[in-house]
Amino acid sequence: MTKTRTLFFGAVVVASMIFGGVISATVFAKTSLPFNVNAAVTAASPSPGSFKSNETAAHEAGESAAQEAAENNGTFHPGGPGGGPSNESAAHEASESAAREAAEQT
The pLDDT tens digits along the chain (106 residues) read: 789 999 999 999 999 999 999 988 888 776 665 555 555 445 445 555 555 667 777 777 778 888 888 777 777 766 655 555 566 777 777 887 888 877 766 5
In this structure, how many other beta carbons lie within 10 angstroms of the beta carbon of residue 60? Answer: 13
Task: Look up residue 35 and give its DSSP letter.
Answer: S
Output the CA–CA distances (angstroms, integers) from residue 73 to 46, 69, 70, 77, 80, in the order listed.
Answer: 19, 6, 5, 11, 16
Backbone angles phi, psi at 10, to 5 degrees: -65, -40
Output the CA–CA distances (angstroms, integers) from residue 106 to 1, 9, 89, 103, in the order listed.
Answer: 74, 68, 18, 6
- The pTM score is 0.29
